[in-house]
Structure 1
């Protein structure tokens, strides 16, 4: 249920992943958190977030082949002058996983490859990998906001300098489609 018609809270994610969320190709993100996370651990700061695309750390070799060729490598420190915010999402499930076999069973539901899964599980091995399930909504008007230095860095969550109206956004998937995928994922986990 939508509580507010504007928000400034945003989740930073690879642009290729946001495109997959916005097109209904996935509802899943896999996270361990950015280097600058609070207490060095991933946590969900907000359940209702704008999706903020990032480009610098996208790595084609960590993606399934159908997504790898959608990435344009950029030089370290590069960012667009204006950032397109085309959607928001409700994080409906936060599922910690530590077993590689369980994460591998989820391969059909996300955009990353086996190497990414193995790499993520090995980084900070005592911490679980978090599966986030997102109900994504496309904004009726797609604002482009100026990039600000406080949006940079290896962190998952940022607050935008200006609120963005999320009223009248339309869900990417119907209630039935979303519920069916969530049910399949929960069965695996």
Structure 2
């Protein structure tokens, strides 16, 4: 059994809103990272194993998401505009595993386990070619009450991580998947990566 503790800090990982939706609905348990364009180290570093999920909307592209998830992408954009004053924080994640990957065949084998097209996955793998792609296994928890945060200038730009400028009230939360469901999905994906 995995015991969850709400994040101890305001650290959040920026991710496409459609990916946050997929993680938050248990449609996938992995996310892939290589770092934002403006990371201090120019590569992805897992700063902490538990953090909030900060949905981003600006760079979502339908051609990078499998057609089966286009309706989910459209749902994230309903009512959204570039001058949106707030962003909802609905989830936090606990990373159970961080697997580094350079093997394109194994990346292809992960296709059934995420929402992205092969092209999206290839772009992430081949960017900074000598650096590994991080396959993060995320046990996701839903806050019982979403928190609407004002969008600050500090949240903008191509960085993976940022600290939220206000505290998130400690609130009740529920795992998106049961322990058994999560462990079964994790084991299946780990078999692909061996």
**TM > 0.5 between the two?**
yes
**How far apart are the structure 2 equivalents of 1:79 and 1:126?**
37
Select between 54-63 and 158-167 the one with higher mean Cα deviation. Answer: 158-167
**Equivalent residue of 1:80, what SS?**
coil
**90, 93, 115: which one aligns with 1:111:** 115
1:6 deviates by: 5.3
Taking the TM superposition and a 5 Å limit, the aligned residue runs for 1:10-159 are 10-72=12-74, 78=82, 80-159=84-163
**Equivalent residue of 1:126, what SS?**
coil
User: Please, which runs of 5 or more residues in structure 1 have no aligned partner?
Assistant: none
**How far apart are the structure 1 equivalents of 2:7 and 2:98?**
24
Select between 136-145 and 120-129 the one with higher mean Cα deviation. Answer: 120-129
Shift in CA distance, 39/140, structure 1 to aligned 2, threshold 3 Å? same
Shift in CA distance, 119/4, structure 1 to aligned 2, threshold 3 Å? closer
1:165 deviates by: 3.0
**Equivalent residue of 2:100, what SS?**
strand
Shift in CA distance, 142/39, structure 1 to aligned 2, threshold 3 Å? same
Tell me if the contact between 1:85 and 1:144 (Cα under 8 Å) persists in the aligned partners.
Answer: yes
Confirm whether residue 186 of structure 1 aligns to residue 181 of structure 2. Answer: no
Aligned residues: 187
**Equivalent residue of 1:176, what SS?**
helix
**Equivalent residue of 1:162, what SS?**
coil
**Equivalent residue of 2:164, what SS?**
strand
Structure 1, residues 118-138: CA drift from partner, whole Å, max 9, x if none? 222221111111101100000
- TM-score normalized with structure 1 length: 0.92
- TM-score normalized with structure 2 length: 0.90
**Equivalent residue of 2:165, what SS?**
strand
Tell me if the contact between 1:7 and 1:166 (Cα under 8 Å) persists in the aligned partners.
Answer: no
Shift in CA distance, 156/126, structure 1 to aligned 2, threshold 3 Å? same
User: Please, which runs of 5 or more residues in structure 2 have no aligned partner?
Assistant: none
